[in-house]
Amino acid sequence: MAGKMKEMVESWSFLDTAESNFRPLVVIELAKGTKEETIEWFTKRIVDKKANGGAQLLIKPLVTENGVENIYLVGASHLRLLLGAEAVGLVKECSDNSMRTFTYSSRKTFKHFADDNHNFLTMAECQYIIKHELENLRAKDEKMIPGYPQAKLYPGKSIVRRLLTSGVLVQIFPLHDREELKKLSHSWYGRVKIGYQPLDDIRCYFGETIALYFGFLEYFTFALIPMAVIGIPYYMFAWEDYDKYVMFATFNLLWSTVILEVWKRMCAILTYRWGTLLMKRQFEEPRPGFHGVLGINPVTGREEPMYSSIKRQLRIYLVSLPFVCLCLYFSLYVMMIYFDLEQWALDYHKENESNFSSLMLYVPSIIYAVVIEIMNLIYRYAAEFLTSWENHRLESSYQNHLILKVLVFNFLNCFASLFYIAFVMFDMKLLRQSLATLLITSQILNQFAESLLPYWLQKRYNRRMKKRMCSKKTDMDLSLADQVNMEKEMGTYLGTFDDYLELFLQFGYVSLFSCVYPLAAVFAVLNNITEIYSDALKMCRVYKRPFAEPTANIGVWQLAFETMSVISVVTNCILIGMSPEVDALFPDSKMDLVLTVALVEHLLLAVKFIMAFVIPDKPRDIQMKLAKLEFESLEALKQQQMKLAAESLQE
């Protein structure tokens, strides 16, 4: 088999006319024992000419000491990548510093472009282009995958997606660039320094989605510093006056609105520089898991699985919604059991005061913490199953429904006990204590579970691997094989969801009860500084390199954070209204107190909405640049029409 492969590789190389050096960019791992006719058909389709429906890429089997192992390296000629950049609608900087959609015919006008400069496209961009081309490799007249009659195909179905769902294709992942990674990790977290992250380098290496997460994390940390600074004296001097708390809470509420609005502007600046703000939305293909009866899509006119939207709505409103409500109810029920247990432990401790009984005091908290984690885990699986069962056609719609489900449950699970303590038990001391415990322990646990543990495991594994490999050869080519073998065993980064969720819950701890515990912002800042380092470590050392994913904003998370800041206006107003100091201001009538609090709350909400409305989402210079581009395209259209009109009227 290896012999035949070698021969094929040689015969393919004639396609690589533009350049002689093959640069491996993406790794394809096929299942062990994949039938040869399948491999032949698949590789043929990858290298085949565009005109014949191929991807016109380059492919080479990875040769290790064990022979060919069904692992393939994919690359592409420079010309092919440039044409691919045009196909995905990449936006690059022109010589006149404006950002424009790249086209092959206008390539000379772009900054740093030269026909022999192969660094015009970053490696992450090349890998994104190859991924796009592979995913757009579509079945022509094949009725099934050759060798796998059960894996049906129909015209237009993405071959890679069918191979993945049928298990023939194990994974596709982009290769790390060892040298670049070293440079990046050095400037990112290699030295202890005070300063910004190298966001542009992160974006070049990992793509916009991940760079934007780190940008948001950094921005959010800086934005929390004023709150933290104001919060410190409250702890140091044990300020408990009413007016100081009111001042802190008011500042906090307005500040949180401002930072969320300003983030939109920051985000526009970043994504304009990265070109994704201008990138046109591509037409979304159905997600891999989408299934249904084959039919003609009325939009595209193509044959593809169809699924009734009414059925989906029924599944959402009659199954998913009741299930989520049930889970929320169950979560509240568990919380009530926890408070009962707590009470029981307290009573027990009072009755028989002993070492054992004082230990028993901690048992309910520990049990509750463990149960919460288990519930979050089980619910997450259930939510994924349900959302997948709802059979959304588009990945974006699937993601939105999943995020909504998980967000609501996590919000309740994390904050329900705090709400109960605050608004049912009215115990501010216990609230402060619980808040501190929850915030700090969750931060420590998260940091440990998220980065340090996988890092340690990965390191141990790498050391063993290296030892085994290095004892044999130090060949350059084998080093690539080593790298591929090592990287293919690394964990897969599942996206920024969990990272954003963590920040979202942290924002909740900081803002929901800010007037009770001003120190929360301090802990959040400290956590986020280490979080930047541990997340960076995670990205560079623990996980496979993820494919770059262009994005223009943080999507549904902006809405989630804004909703949280609205809820926090309500909770803070109630908390302040309940404080004994405020109570004392209205000795005659509780009515007046409540009415005043309600009035203040409504005013604050109104101010928030007006502020959100008045602050423009994009800075003026970005607006101008966008207007200029729009004007140019309109002008070009007009010129074209004028020419046509003049010609028609001359006739």
Residue 12 CB, nearest approach to its own copies (Å): 15
Residue 254 binds its own copies (CB under 8 A): no
Applying CB under 8 A, among 233, 634, 636, 639 the residue interacting with its own copies is: 634
Q: Is 51 in the site for its own copies (CB under 8 A)?
A: yes
Candidates 21, 66, 105, 150: give the one binding its own copies (CB under 8 A): 105
**What is the SS3 assignment for 74-91?**
EECCHHHHHHHHHHHCCE
**Calpha distance 374→414 (Å, rounded):** 13
Figure out which of the listed residues 602, 603, 617, 636 binds its own copies, where binding follows CB under 8 A: 602
Angle between the N-to-C axes of helices 199-206 and 178-185, in degrees from 0 to 180, rounded to the nearest 10: 150
Q: How many residues bind its own copies (CB under 8 A)?
A: 42
DSSP characters for 384-435? HHHHHHTT-SSHHHHHHHHHHHHHHHHHHHHHHHHHHHHHTS--HHHHHHHH
Q: Interface with its own copies includes 321 (CB under 8 A)?
A: no
Q: Is 114 in the site for its own copies (CB under 8 A)?
A: no
User: Segment near its own copies (CB under 8 A), from 67-75, 102-110, 348-356, 528-536?
Assistant: 102-110
CB of 452 to its own copies, least distance (A): 39
What value, to the nearest 5°, has the Cα angle with vertex 200 and ends 23 and 543? 60
Q: Which of 30, 43, 80, 127 binds its own copies (CB under 8 A)?
A: 80
Beta carbon nearer to its own copies, 56 or 551: 56
CB atoms within 10 A of CB 148: 18
Nearest CB to its own copies, comparing residues 49 and 459: 49
- Residue pair 402/387 in contact (Cβ under 8 Å)? The answer is yes
* 326 touches its own copies (CB under 8 A): no
Distance (Å, whole) CA 289 – CA 501: 24
CB of 51 to its own copies, least distance (A): 5
Position 83 contacts its own copies (CB under 8 A) = yes
Element (H, E) at 145: strand 144-145
Q: Looking at 75-83, 110-118, 505-513, 540-548, which segment touches its own copies (CB under 8 A)?
A: 75-83
Q: Which amino acid is at 318?
A: L
Asked if 319 interacts with its own copies (CB under 8 A), we say no
Rounded to whole angstroms, the Cα distance separating 273 from 280 reads: 15
Total count of residues recorded for the chain: 651
Q: Which of 531, 647, 578 is nearest to 220 (CA)?
A: 531
- Interaction of residue 49 with its own copies, rule CB under 8 A: yes
CA gap 347, 353 in Å, rounded: 10
Q: Which of residues 265-304 bind its own copies (CB under 8 A)?
A: 280, 282-283, 298-300
Confirm or reject binding of residue 624 to its own copies (CB under 8 A). Answer: yes
237 binds its own copies (CB under 8 A): no
Candidates 271, 118, 281, 119; CA nearest to 207 is 271
Phi, psi of 121 (to 5 degrees): -95, 135
CB of 532 to its own copies, least distance (A): 33
**For residues 264 and 535, what is the distance between their CA atoms, to the nearest angstrom?**
23
* Least distance to its own copies, CB of residue 92, Å: 16
Nearest to 62 by CA among 109, 12, 24: 24
Asked if 590 interacts with its own copies (CB under 8 A), we say yes
Q: Please answer whether residues 328 and 408 qualify as being in contact, where contact means their C-beta atoms are separated by less than 8 angstroms.
A: yes
Of the candidates 546, 547, 534, the residue with the CA atom closest to the CA atom of residue 455: 534
**Residue selected from 378, 453, 598, 603 as contacting its own copies according to rule CB under 8 A:** 598
φ, ψ for residue 568, nearest 5 deg: -70, -25
Please identify which residue in 95, 627, 636, 639 interacts with its own copies, judged by CB under 8 A: 627
CB 60 within 8 A of CB 145: no
Residue from 114, 321, 603, 645 touching its own copies (CB under 8 A): that is 645
When asked if residue 104 is in the footprint of its own copies (CB under 8 A), the reply is: yes
Tell the smallest beta-carbon distance from residue 101 to its own copies (Å): 10
> How does strand 67-75 pair with strand 99-101?
unpaired
Q: Which of 363, 529, 631, 639: binder of its own copies (CB under 8 A)?
A: 631
> Is residue 87 at the binding interface for its own copies, with CB under 8 A as the rule?
yes
Q: Minimum distance from CB of 616 to its own copies (Å)?
A: 11
User: Is residue 570 a contact residue for its own copies (CB under 8 A)?
Assistant: yes
Binding site for its own copies (CB under 8 A): 49-51, 56, 79-80, 83, 86-87, 103-105, 280, 282-283, 298-300, 309, 570, 590-591, 594-595, 598, 602, 620, 624, 627-628, 630-631, 634-635, 638, 641-642, 644-646, 648-649
